[in-house]
Structure 1
């Protein structure tokens, strides 16, 4: 048995396998690009990136894209449906903090949405 980490006698091992991209590669990269935009948004507002903030903002973007609004309970249920195990209190506290920093707005129907300035940062209309 050969150890691939040990040097050979000048004969490099040739592998007969060609690179075959994973069919889901583009789908896997798309959320990373979205997360990078959210990271820049948080940085623009002077906030550190956390998993909870990323997931909450991503859920708000998804809801807005589907013409829906989410309150704390709806947000929590949405995240649980995606197998993201965050407590109700964590979701509520993150939403309150994002509101206090001006990233998110509490609407009159107790739902949350992104502040227009935050949307402008995400769309690239305002530089981070």
Structure 2
């Protein structure tokens, strides 16, 4: 039986619970910073936590750049920002976000936002 907590290589073992809301673009317009990330987590049926907010925010800053973050890179990035999270916390959050379809584990062991999650955060809903 596959471990549901293990990250996948973009192949999801369970269906994403994300359902785009027809009025989503209008609802997202006034949202800034962490509010957008909170909304994203809610769309995927996840609770908000400090670690999830910081990890998704870090991934969002890498969108459109050549920078790739693995678990160690993510942990180092957060420490450089004076966000004292343990390596294990970062790793477990990334695993959970992968299993929920918010984040994708790339072939090079780096993480990136799932295109659907990126669309929610950047207010480009194509689903």
Same fold (TM over 0.5): yes
Which residue in 1 is equivalent to 2:47?
Answer: 48
Kindly provide the CA deviation profile for residues 8-48 of structure 1, in whole angstroms up to 9, marking residues without a partner as x.
xxxxxxxxxxxxxxxxxxxxxxxx82111000000000000
- The aligned residue for residue 14 of structure 2 is none
Q: Secondary structure at the match of 1:53?
A: helix
**Counterpart residue number, 1:119:** 118
Gaps of 5+ in 1: 1-31
SS of equivalent to 2:57? helix
- Residue 104 of structure 1 deviates from its aligned partner by 0.1
Q: TM-score, normalised by structure 1?
A: 0.71
Match in the other structure for 1:59: 58
SS of residue matched to 2:89: helix
| Aligned residue number for residue 94 of structure 1 | 93
Residue 15 of structure 1 aligns with which residue? none
Distance in 2 separating the partners of 1:56 and 1:65? 17
Offset of 1:126 from its aligned partner?
3.0
**What stretches of structure 1 move > 6 A for 4+ residues in a row?**
none
Q: Which has the higher helix share?
A: 1
For residues 62-116 of structure 1, the C-alpha deviation after alignment (integer angstroms, 9 at most, x for no partner) is: 1224431100000000000000000000000000000000000000000000000
- Secondary structure of 2:32 counterpart: helix
User: How far apart, in 1, do the equivalents of 2:42 and 2:125 lie?
Assistant: 13
- Identify the residue that residue 75 of structure 1 maps to in structure 2: 74
Q: Gaps spanning 5+ residues in structure 2: where?
A: 1-30
